[in-house]
Copies of this chain bind each other. A is one copy, B any other.
Amino acid sequence: MRLKDLAEHLGLSQTTVSRALNGYPEVNEATRRRVAETAERLGYRPNASALRLATGRSGAIGLVLRGAHELGPHMSEFMAGLGSKLAEQEMDIVVTIVESYADEIAAYRRAASSQKVDAVILHSPTVNDERATLLSELKIPFVLHGRTNINAPVAWLDIDNTGAMERATGHLLDLGHRRIALLNGVKGRTFSEHREIGYLAALSSRGISFDPALISNSLFTDEAAFRLAQSMLEMRPAPTAFLAGSMMTALGVFRAIRQAGLVMGRDVSVIAHDDVFPYLNADNMFPTMSTTRSSIRQAGVRVADLTLQVLAGKPAEQVRELWPVELVLRESSGPPPG
């Protein structure tokens, strides 16, 4: 069923039918109703490719992911938020999986020249993210989930990682902890750097020196966290508290603590960053987990909003949001033993 068929069926021109369906004013109300009713009854839908070619808009936003590590639980939560908002505008997400960084760059170039998507979401940026630079050079509208320092206006939404870590660390210090381990994300990512800055700020504001051996950088997997926590617990003096970068990390730390014959919340405190996974709830852990909490799904919803604003023409430099992070204290953190 093409527009042409529908028009013939109605005894009208394509022009009029198109206008009727798209809500243009210059069409008789009776005609419009008749068109709408018939289109509905016949199940007419404009051909997506034709519509895109004619309008120049693709009705989709792009997400380029490096398969192995990036399409994990964080990304899927983020996508869930993103998609739920985009669905309201009948837009969808075009996911491109790439192997390498080079492929990722190529994917963006291709996206630009093939006009496959109207905008792109960029995530997990590095401190000076070349992809962001590339996207602005290519003039592809994009919104960054996170922050980066580049010489171009960037629309972004980020959470206050620095503030979150500063408060969590400060809280532990105030409880009397002196050796606090930071299981941070991979080096070079802005959020990792920000978290480290917050951590260091809390220490230095209380005049406490820091031990580089207590800071580690890794992926947020249960396994990596277990190994790191285990080896840190063998240090003498051992850390009395851990800051875990994600809930997966917390699971690994938890395991290491148990295996060392210690009890979380009594012998060792843990505060984890919680991106609010529906299937892994800090409140339902045992003991319940103290967290710095910020919903990544909500962030996805909002990033979708911002993307729509950017597409509507709002200048990138006016699109920036920094979200506060809650510190939620539960059983896994307390004063150090002794």
Q: Please report A residues at the B interface, Cβ cutoff 8 Å.
A: 1, 43-53, 58, 60, 65, 67-69, 71-73, 75-77, 79-80, 82-84, 86-87, 90, 92-99, 103, 109-110, 113-116, 219-223, 226, 248, 251-252, 255, 258-259, 278-281, 284-286
Question: Inside 8 A of A222's CB, which chain B residues have their CB?
Answer: 279-281, 284
Shortest beta-carbon distance from A316 to chain B in Å: 23
B83 and A76 contact, CB distance less than 8 A: no
| CB < 8 Å neighbour of A114 from B48, B285, B286 | B48
Min CB distance A291 to B, Å, is: 15
- Could you tell me if B97 and A95 are in contact, using CB atoms closer than 8 angstroms? no
A278 touching B221, Cβ below 8 Å? yes
Taking CB atoms, residues of chain B closer than 8 Å to A220 are 279
- For A138, the closest partner residue in chain B by CB is B43
Contact A98 B93 (CB under 8 A): no
Chain B residues, Cβ within 8 Å of A83? 65, 67, 71, 95-97
**The residue from B71, B84, B94, B258 contacting A79, defined by CB atoms under 8 A apart:** B71
A223 vs B43: C-alpha distance when bound (angstroms): 43
CA distance A87 to B45 in the complex (A): 28
Cα distance A254–B204 in the bound complex, in angstroms: 40
Question: Which of chain B's residues have a CB closer than 8 A to the CB of A116?
Answer: 48, 92
